[in-house]
């Protein structure tokens, strides 16, 4: 005969697993910069309503930021350029964390950045000796580790491709780059599918309400109604 106490304990454990409180709070990875044309920014990882990593300094595209294609359309009459292939700008907007690629597992992987290709902004496998159907691509093995930022998920030709989080000590062609030790620590905490918000500070403050972003004070910014701004 089954022990009633055993059944009761099992029921309690099932309720605990199904409880919303047991779920991990949503994460938002926030990158802010002092303007559209600067190549440095600050990165903070927020889980729920608390900071769990950062802020740390990051390198952006060598030309700064530009509106990308993400989860929200840029506001009407918004300041700032639009992201284009080869413009040297990191995408601004709201995105999600995608797949991770490690050098050891990426020998035959390429990210296609040829706007004329039907594989534009896709990571594809090209076996040794095979001829590519595209004219330009990044070798994923050139990165020790790279995490996809899902900019331009619809693969609109010419609107920017191959955007990653990776390590570097200098401005990038459009990615967001951290120091090696910062990246490694971040990746121990970052959840798949986390929201990525990357904006100039002024745009971040203006969009906190409309886009339901974490409070500016959590990412080292003053609030939109700060009288000292």
In a domain, 101, yes or no: yes
In a domain, 138, yes or no: yes
Give the chain's largest Cα–Cα span: 73
Hunting for tokens 């000796």 — which residue is that? 129
In a domain, 224, yes or no: no
Q: What is the average per-residue pLDDT within 93-110?
A: 95
- With a pLDDT cut of 70, the percent of the chain lying above it is 87
Question: What's the CA gap between 132 and 69, in Å, rounded?
Answer: 26
Q: In this predicted model, what pLDDT tens digit does every residue of 164-215 receive, in sequence order? A: 999 999 999 999 999 999 999 999 999 999 999 999 999 999 999 999 999 9
Hunting for tokens 């090209």 — which residue is that? 126
In a domain, 11, yes or no: no
- Report which of residues 117 and 221 the model is more confident about: 117
In a domain, 226, yes or no: no
- Residue 18 in this model has a pLDDT that exceeds 50: no
| pLDDT value of position 229 | 45
In a domain, 13, yes or no: no
Sign of CA dihedral 210, 216, 218, 219: positive
3-state secondary structure of 106: coil
3-state secondary structure of 200: strand
Q: 152 is in which domain, residue-wise?
A: 25-219
In a domain, 172, yes or no: yes
- For the chain, the domain total comes to 1
| pLDDT value of position 22 | 55
Q: Mean pLDDT for the chain? A: 89
Q: In this structure, what CATH number is given to the domain that contains residue 161?
A: 2.40.440.10
Give the N- to C-terminal CA distance of the chain in Å, as an integer. Answer: 71
In a domain, 137, yes or no: yes
């Amino acid at each position: 005969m089954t022990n009633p106490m055993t059944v009761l304990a099992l029921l309690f454990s099932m309720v605990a697993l199904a409880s919303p409180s047991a779920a991990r709070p949503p994460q938002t990875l926030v990158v802010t910069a002092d303007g559209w044309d600067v190549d440095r920014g600050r990165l903070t990882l927020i889980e729920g309503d608390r900071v769990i990593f950062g802020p740390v300094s990051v390198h952006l595209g060598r030309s700064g930021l530009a509106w990308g294609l993400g989860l929200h359309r840029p506001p009407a009459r918004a300041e700032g350029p639009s992201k284009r292939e080869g413009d040297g700008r990191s995408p601004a907007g709201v995105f999600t964390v995608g797949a991770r690629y490690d050098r050891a597992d990426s020998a035959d992987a390429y990210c296609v950045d040829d706007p004329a290709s039907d594989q534009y902004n896709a990571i594809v496998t090209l076996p040794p000796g095979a001829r590519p159907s595209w004219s330009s691509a990044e070798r994923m093995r050139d990165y020790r580790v790279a995490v996809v930022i899902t900019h331009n998920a619809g693969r609109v030709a010419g609107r920017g491709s191959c955007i990653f989080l990776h390590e570097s000590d200098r401005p990038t062609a459009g990615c967001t780059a951290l120091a090696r030790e910062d990246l490694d620590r971040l990746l121990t905490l970052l959840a798949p599918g986390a929201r990525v918000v990357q904006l100039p500070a002024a745009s971040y403050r203006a969009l906190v309400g409309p886009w339901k972003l974490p409070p500016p004070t959590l990412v080292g910014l003053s609030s939109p109604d700060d009288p000292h701004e």
